[in-house]
Amino acid sequence: MPAFRLERDGMANLAVGVDLGGSHVLATLVDGDGKIVEREGHDIVDHAPDVVIATVEDAINGVLLGAKDNATAGIGVGSPGNIDVATGAVRYSPNFGWHDVPLGERLRERFKLPVFVANDARCATLAEYTHGTGRGTSNFVLLTLGTGIGGGIVAEGTLILGSLGGAGEVGHHQVRATDGFICACGKIGCFEAQASGTGLIRHAIAVAPSFPRSNLVSGKPEKLGSKPIRKAAEAGDRHGLAAWNRYLDDLARGIANIIAFVNPEMIALGGGVASAGDFMLSGLGPRVDELTTMVPRGRTKLVVAALGNDAGAIGAATMARRGGLTTAG
């Protein structure tokens, strides 16, 4: 264990940010501007709590060695699932099959540093709000369009956590209650089922019978990615465009609902699908406007998120530096 000086110096704003995913853990050392100065990744092959925590500890150790004798404010961890932010325990994580794992306590014992744990999507939201596209706003929403839809809501400068830490789970409001896809949560037509990267694949499969000569979705469904469909749409492929347009319709429905709930200044879109950039935003904006009824149209900026896959780790470090998710500063 290296020694840690607590007095402030040139790099005293350093904090450790960890993004704990289902198959990979990324530990980083992040400076006060949100810049990653060290990173160490490890694959996770076994979901037993002791094994995962040992892997997290190894990764943290690696970046702490990079801190040398610079003071480190603390350790932040973004984890999937529902987290008790007061103790850092993972109450429930479907990705790991965990119930009540005292992750924060274990890391505190090991590293003798302040440790904060929060949901990974909330951490990514804090990062985009503080160091990414959301800088300067006070009402901000992040939507990460990946396998599911992760996200978070900042209202009046505060990241909303809700009474049990579950606020911001924007993926599970229904946007197609009767003719939608079945969601992992059991409901029909959730925003996540229709408008995640997986949703784009499902739209492409759903419209495939109209394009008998297309081989866009000819492989096994579980092997399909959303990227070839997005690329086909960008290239003007008829099958790809049909899926893409249905996808944008459903994405716009969900975004219009969020605008009605939250009236944000900005909604940032991250995840693989958002790599389409202007191609996505130009199709999305008019659809969202058409469905926006209770607040002035065209006043919510739709943008592509800035921090990419690093957002979770940067946000976790930001949380550690601030001493929690909701503390301003």
- Positions that interact with Zn ion (CB under 5 A): 172, 183, 185, 187, 190
Nearest approach, Cβ of residue 219 and Zn ion (Å)? 26
Query: Which residue, 74 or 271, has its beta carbon nearer to Zn ion?
Result: 271
Tell me the CA end-to-end span of the chain in Å, nearest whole number. 30
Rounded Cα gap, residues 172 and 262, in angstroms? 16
Give φ, ψ of 293 to 5 degrees. -120, -40
Q: Which is nearer to Zn ion, 180 or 283 (CB)?
A: 180
d(C-alpha 15, C-alpha 319), whole Å: 9
Pick the closer one to Zn ion by CB: 190 or 207: 190
DSSP 8-state symbol, 181: P
Could you tell me which of 13, 4, 16 has the C-alpha nearest to residue 329?
13
Q: How far is the CB of 198 from Zn ion (least distance, A)?
A: 12
CB of 187 vs Zn ion, minimal distance in Å = 5
Question: Which neighbouring-strand residues pair with 304?
Answer: 269
106 or 202: whose CB is closer to Zn ion?
A: 202
Task: Give me the least distance between CB of 143 and Zn ion, in Å please.
Answer: 15
Q: Closest distance between Zn ion and the C-beta of residue 251, in Å? A: 15
Q: φ and ψ at 225, to 5 degrees?
A: -110, 165
Looking at beta carbons only, is 48 or 164 nearer to Zn ion?
Answer: 164
Q: Residue 97 region, left (φ>0) first, then alpha (ψ -120 to 50), else beta?
A: left
